[in-house]
């Protein structure tokens, strides 16, 4: 999927969810299913479960694999390209993979680094590959890296640098000075842009993650806590907090398992969307996660297709789906807004 298609799918899915309260429940259900399909992320399985899903659904002996995927747009080999960074961790492996798209070639350039190496010297290295006739290098140093128990991504004391045309076009980690000294290059004049983040987390009744919400690159801590059947007394509820402040409380979760609200984070609007239907009404052993989407920017007004007075909506959707048309796609913003897709897997719901 190209970046333009991704921007359009996210724009269409999030904007139409704002009209959920005005549509019938049947249409709202259809719309939510459409959102789960946006950007080809519907009902995903973590990479470690693609071949062992049946076993994991019936027992907890197979350790789940946590994974975090970032997609950046960076200028590599003279062109803006999508760069996918994926951190994966389970009981056996801990790795980092970086993939650079090449529209002129079906083969993607991928660099994989084994972080859990038994050799100390192996945690610092360099790999290179050729892209459109130009050399691209990836430098890393994890010798002093610190990790949390819940995330495969390092917390501090590391760097990963991608170098192209004698510029650092993508830099991860906090040891920036060390990265520039080792690569002997300068920063790129065009900063890499984080487009979206996709993450799989596991828990019984609470889930946590970190996200950059477009305010100077500062990371915010997101905490989701639930009171579900079998985990607490009373009707099921859910709380969503950012930086220790409860922004959303969802009561009677049996009926409000899908929804969206807009919260202010440092005076900036953040749209929060959720779908936890399968937590509450899924079949035992289905092994399907709850989906949360954190999207920066204010929600856009959505036309009601059932409103005869809304001529704009009728004209745009005449003879087509309410979820998108040529007219609506042309109105998508040219500058992508950051989205964080969080898949929350309940370990006690197998």
Residues 45-67 have a mean pLDDT of 45
C-alpha angle 144-211-117 in degrees, rounded to nearest 5 = 30
Alpha-carbon separation of residue 325 from 13, 24, 44 (angstroms): 13, 21, 27
pLDDT band at 215 (very low <50, low <70, confident <90, very high): low
Q: How far apart are CA 272 and CA 295, in angstroms?
A: 7
**C-alpha torsion angle, residues 127, 168, 89, 2 (rounded to 10):** -100
Indicate whether 232 pLDDT > 90: no
Q: How far apart are CA 171 and CA 173, in angstroms?
A: 7
Which backbone phi and psi does 274 adopt, to 5 degrees?
Answer: -145, 150
**C-alpha torsion angle, residues 186, 191, 195, 199 (rounded to 10):** 40
- Residue that wins the pLDDT comparison between 54 and 185: 185
CB count within 10 Å of CB 341 equals: 21
What pLDDT, in 10s, does the model give residues 10-46? 444 444 444 443 333 333 333 334 333 333 333 333 3
**What pLDDT score was predicted for residue 286?**
64
What pLDDT, in 10s, does the model give residues 176-194? 999 999 999 999 988 999 9
- Residue that wins the pLDDT comparison between 302 and 161: 161
Indicate whether 134 pLDDT > 80: yes
* Full DSSP string of 227-244: E-TTTSSSS-EEEEEETT
Residues 192-212 have a mean pLDDT of 91
Average pLDDT, the chain: 75
């Amino acid at each position: 999927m190209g970046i333009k298609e991704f921007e359009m799918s996210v724009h269409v899915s999030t904007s139409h969810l704002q009209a959920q309260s005005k549509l019938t429940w049947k249409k709202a259900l259809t719309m939510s299913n459409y959102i789960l399909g946006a950007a080809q992320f519907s009902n995903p399985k973590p990479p470690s479960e693609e071949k062992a899903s049946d076993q994991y659904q019936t027992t907890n002996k197979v350790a789940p694999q946590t994974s975090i995927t970032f997609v950046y747009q960076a200028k590599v080999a003279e062109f803006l390209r999508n760069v996918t960074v994926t951190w994966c961790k389970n009981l056996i492996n801990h790795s980092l993979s970086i993939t650079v798209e090449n529209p002129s070639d079906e083969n993607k350039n991928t660099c994989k680094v084994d972080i859990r190496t038994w050799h100390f010297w192996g945690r610092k290295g360099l790999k290179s590959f050729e892209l459109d006739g130009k050399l691209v290098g990836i430098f890393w140093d994890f010798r002093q890296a610190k990790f949390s128990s819940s995330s495969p991504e390092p917390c501090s004391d590391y760097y990963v640098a991608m170098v192209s045309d004698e510029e650092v076009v993508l830099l991860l980690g906090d040891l920036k000075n060390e990265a520039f000294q080792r690569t002997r290059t300068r920063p790129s004049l065009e900063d890499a842009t984080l487009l979206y983040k996709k993450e799989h987390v596991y828990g019984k009744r609470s889930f946590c993650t970190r996200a950059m919400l477009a305010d100077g690159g500062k990371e915010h801590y997101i905490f989701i806590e639930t009171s579900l059947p079998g985990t607490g007394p009373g009707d099921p509820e859910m709380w969503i907090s950012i930086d220790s402040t409860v922004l959303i409380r969802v009561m009677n979760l049996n009926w409000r398992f899908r929804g969206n609200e807009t919260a202010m984070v440092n005076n900036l609007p953040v749209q929060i969307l959720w779908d936890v239907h399968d937590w509450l009404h899924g079949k035992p052993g289905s092994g399907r996660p709850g989906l949360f989407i954190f999207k920066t920017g204010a929600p856009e007004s959505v036309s009601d297709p059932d409103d005869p007075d809304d001529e704009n909506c009728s004209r745009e959707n005449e003879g087509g789906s309410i979820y998108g048309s040529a007219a609506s796609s042309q109105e998508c913003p040219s500058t992508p807004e950051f989205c964080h897709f969080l898949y929350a897997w309940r370990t006690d719901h197998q």
